[in-house]
Amino acid sequence: MYRMNFYESTCFRCNQTVYQVDRVGPLKDFTFFHSGCFKCAVCGTKLTLKTYYNNQHRQEDKEVYCCSHVPKIGPGHLDGSAVGIRSALNVPRSANVVNEQIRGSGKGTFDAEALNIRPHLNGHINNSSNNNGSQQTQPYHQHHHYQYGRFDASALHIAHALRATELQKAYNKAREKPIDCYLDKDEQTQLEMKHRKEEDDLYRKFARQREEEDKRMREEFRDEWEKELERLTSRFQRELQNKKKRPDEQKVLTLRHQQEREDLEKNMTIRRDKKKESLTRKLLEHERAATAALVEKQSREMLELINEKRSEYMMAESLYLDEGDGYTEDVLLPYPSQAPIPAPPALSKFEVYNDPVEFADIDQIAISVAQEDQKTFTDLVRQLVGRCGSDIEKARTIFRWITVKNLNTMQFDENLRGDTPMGLLRGIKHGTESYHVLFKRLCSYAGLHCVVIKGYSKSAGYQPGVRFEDNRFRNSWNAVYVAGAWRFVQCNWGARHLVNAKEVPKAGSKGKSDSLRYEYDDHYFLTDPREFIYEFFPLQSEWQLLKNPITLQDFEELPFVRSLFFRYGLYFPDSNTKAVMFTDSTGAATVRIAMPAHMQSSLIFHYNLKFYDSDGDGFDGVSLKRFVMQSVVGNTVAFRVHAPCSGAFLLDIFANAVTPKEYLTGEPMKFKSVCKFKIACEELQTVMVPLPDCASGEWGPTKATRLFGLVPITHQDALVFAGRELELQFRMSRPLTDFMATLHKNGVEEKRLSKFVSHSVSDDDVVTFVISFPEEGQYGLDIYTRELGGSQSDGSSEKHLLTHCCKYLINSSKRN
């Protein structure tokens, strides 16, 4: 069976294991970092693969720095190993003349070509020193009065160039000039009008087919109705002739005939509606296929036009802006004119970008454009990508426009022509064009290769363990070629609702657009194949974009996870974790989820357990939640299920990232599902009893330390074995007040157990809980506390709500 592998390495910063899902690297000398540890060694600024620097004159220094704190070569250290960066100070900032030799530090001369920095010097001389082009280049004067500037590792980007590994060369960040530079808008619009005529013809064909089929069906049912009615009437008349002499029987016959006629009409109406629904569904499938085929042809023609004009322009002059971000012309790869074959991307999504905030300006363009209507796709796409300088930015604006436009709830006029603003999206209205076909169409107008992929998805209604044996879970999505590779996009799943919906302006009115905030799911933009495969399985294996494609059975056995699972950086440390987990002979099965280091302090988990084939969540009057023990050890949260009976159960695991301050407010927290499992108990040899009725959530003191700074002194594990008495001690690392503990035991009222628990706080901030168990058995201990808040205006201290701190499971017996 195929298994998702997570290779282990050690983080250079914290020396803890770093798994692939949370890994940055390999960097200098094959060092790795957690994404949370990938910060400047001096100031702690969070870094990305675009902003980090290495120490270039100390090979043994493997740390990473920001541009402000990367060690620079000072006076007295200019030699061959320092590559003469300081010598570049004497290079003229001329666009025409470059000093052929860079004067060294008295140890000989270094030719610019030998140092392999000429392209970077030329790039800097020709460019402005600021990426936004705000500073102008200095002209070369006839009398050779050179204008000197400051050249260092940051300005020349030599630090990047010298360590230009294959990883960094793979993604070319050169910014391309707008499409307006090489393709006239009128020429593109002319091709669009040709396509629109083809589309109009296709829609007229659809309308004729629907009319013909509707007419044929109506005639068919009219003929059948007449035949059935004639048969019914003939029978009635025959029976009426036989009852001539008995008026009462004639009346009964007449009433029966009327009832039979009404029943016939009702049954035929139901049959007609069902047949019409079936016919409409078949016609729609045919229309979708025809529309997709037409868009495929038109997209190919649009790309051919763009590539032709693009090539002509490139022959005449450079296509790229003079704003290179550390990448020289010798590594520029033009966007391919032909669609490359599907292959796994060399760079992960994190290595392309690791924070959606990098697209803040681009996203705002999409949001602004979405609030207006356009009459042509040419206008729409040029408004979206006109200020984009890279293929990724183009794909991003199209993705965000679709997610912002909220096409599912858009209102359309009944009679839409193709030349009206919303007529562009009439395919969405009629159901003949999906999000994915629309995304492909828009990508072609931007000059991007895009394909629509068909397959199965673990979508709405799917539960772990379900087999893909019919078309219930058929779906489609996109792959777009950006950043030198095919990458997945799922616009439909990426779309989210509008926040502050009450402030949305009504149709026909104008409201404040800045009061709106659009939610979307960034996970479904350029999703990594190893994550995408958990939810989507293409019919063509090459479009898995995996080095080792999996089978449909493997896909069914993969755990059922949601996008939030990957957003939090979660992963399964056990390779045998599957969608269906089978219990052992005692009815026990354990699901383990690992967290990245930077999320351990903020993630809170919750769960729900119910029967698989029903909504029942209780057994013999006891909640099924009490048959699950949740605990956290290190970076792993474990859910140990003890099935109370044989059968199948559904374990739904939720998570939320909160700060200790947010938790201490006592406000209800919203948890979202991260993964689901089917727990299958085929036989049960041991009768399981429910856990004590404690507060929900994890067992053990980890929560107390993480959220309250309460460090256990005596008992670090969730499960405690004790005699008839037990003493638990904690040390406070910050002020807490008003401790409370409650004891629970199955079959015993909580009030009866309250007198057996006490606590005290010593001067050295040690909290001690003393429990005297009235009898042997299994107990649950809940501990509550609260922080002392800030001062009020009257000088008193604000008190937070009493909040659950942690809980223990205690087995008491005389033998312990």
Cis previous bond, 644, omega within 30:
no
Task: Please tell me whether the peptide bond between 139 and the residue prior to it is cis, using omega within 30 degrees of 0.
Answer: no
Q: Count of CB atoms within 10 A of residue 130's CB?
A: 11
Hey, what are 528's tokens?
A: 């990594």
Q: What's the rounded mean pLDDT across residues 330-335?
A: 56
Identify the weakest region by mean pLDDT among 43-52, 467-476, 746-755.
43-52
Sign of the Cα torsion 673, 676, 681, 685 reads negative
Structure confidence at residue 612 (pLDDT) = 92
Q: Which of 59-68, 90-99, 272-281 has the lowest mean pLDDT?
A: 90-99
Which position has the token pair 């705000």?
A: 134
CA dist., res. 448 & res. 444, Å (int)? 5
Query: Does position 691 have pLDDT exceeding 60, yes or no?
Result: yes
Amino acid at 23: R
Instruction: Give yes or no for residue 407 having a pLDDT over 80.
Output: no
Does the pLDDT value for residue 110 go beyond 80? no
Burial class (CB in 10 A: 0-12, 13-18, 19+), 624: buried
Euclidean distance between CA atoms 758 and 743, whole angstroms: 10
Handedness of CA 198, 203, 204, 205 (dihedral sign): positive
Contact indicator for 557, 1 with CB cutoff of 8 Å: yes
Q: Which tokens in the block code for residue 413? A: 């006029």
CATH topology of domain 1-71: Cysteine Rich Protein (2.10.110)
Residues of the chain with CATH 2.10.110.10: 1-71
Report the interhelical angle of 377-385 vs 360-370 (nearest 10°).
Answer: 150
Amino acid in position 631: S
- Bridge-based pairing state of the strands 777-791 and 622-623: unpaired
| Among the ranges given (23-32, 163-172, 272-281), the one the predictor scored with the smallest mean pLDDT | 163-172
49 vs 32: CA distance, rounded Å: 12
Tokens of 679: 């727990």
In whole angstroms, what is the distance from residue 352 CA to residue 359 CA?
12
Q: What is the mean pLDDT of the chain?
A: 78
Torsion over CA: 796, 802, 807, 812 (sign): positive
Distance of alpha carbon 316 from alpha carbon 299, whole angstroms: 26
Tokens 């029987």 belong to: 249
Provide the pairing of β-strand 672-681 with 580-582. parallel
Collapsing DSSP to helix, strand or coil, 454 comes out as: strand
Q: Cα 634–635–641 angle (5° rounding)?
A: 90
Other Cβ atoms less than 10 A from the Cβ of 566: the count is 21
Contact 745, 778 (CB under 8 A): yes
Closest CA to 155 of 79, 102, 89: 89
Let me know: does 370 contact 421? Beta carbons within 8 Å.
no
CATH number of 559-691: 2.60.40.10
Angstrom CA distances, 797 to 665, 667, 788, 791, stand at: 15, 20, 7, 4
The region, left, alpha or beta by phi > 0 then psi within -120 to 50, assigned to residue 516 is beta
State yes or no: pLDDT of 79 exceeds 80. no
Looking at residue 406, what is its pLDDT?
Answer: 63
Distance CA 786, CA 75 (A): 57
In the numeric block, which tokens belong to residue 128? 């402005």
Q: How confident is the model at residue 411 (pLDDT cuts 50, 70, 90)?
A: low
Question: What's the confidence (pLDDT) of residue 77?
Answer: 41
Give the strand pairing for 766-772 and 757-761: antiparallel
| C-beta separation of 355 from 48 below 8 A | yes
Q: What is the pLDDT of residues 169-190, one digit of tens each?
A: 334 455 777 888 888 999 999 9
Residue 101 pLDDT: 31
Give me the count of residues in the chain: 816
Across 58-73, b (16+ Cβ under 10 Å) vs e yields eeeeebbbbbeebbbb
| CATH number of the domain located at residue range(s) 693-789+799-815 in this protein | 2.60.40.10
| Amino acid 761: pLDDT | 92
Residue 798 CA: distances (Å) to CA of 542, 661, 732, 734, 788: 61, 14, 19, 16, 7
Q: H helices within 518-658, ranges in order?
A: 529-532, 552-557, 563-567
pLDDT recorded at residue 160: 35
d(CA 809, CA 807): 7
Crossing angle between the packed helical segments 435-445 and 377-385, to the nearest 10 degrees: 70
Contacts of 785 (CB under 8 A, 6+ apart): 708, 710, 736, 737, 738, 739, 740, 802, 803, 805
- What average pLDDT score do residues 295-324 get? 80
Average pLDDT over every residue of 131-145: 35
CATH 2.60.40.10 in the chain is located at: 559-691, 693-789+799-815
Instruction: Mark 316-349 as b/e (b = at least 16 C-beta within 10 Å).
Output: eeebbbebbebbbeeeeeebeeeeeebeebebbb
Among residues 781, 787, 793, 696, the alpha carbon closest in space to that of 742 is found at 781
Q: How far apart are CA 536 and CA 475, in angstroms?
A: 8
Other CB atoms within 10 A of residue 770 CB: 15
pTM of the model: 0.71
Average pLDDT of the residues in 685-694: 88
Of the candidates 444, 474, 437, 443, the one whose C-alpha atom is nearest the C-alpha of residue 459 is 474
Q: Both ends of the chain: CA-CA distance in Å?
A: 45
Sheet holding 710-712, edge to edge: 710-712, 725-732, 766-772, 757-761
> Cβ of 211: how many Cβ atoms within 10 Å?
10
**For range 717-722, the mean pLDDT:** 92
Q: What is the rounded radius of gyration, in angstroms, for the C-alpha atoms of the chain?
A: 35
Contacts with 345 (C-beta within 8 Å, 6 or more apart), sequence order:
483, 484, 485, 486, 487, 528, 529, 545
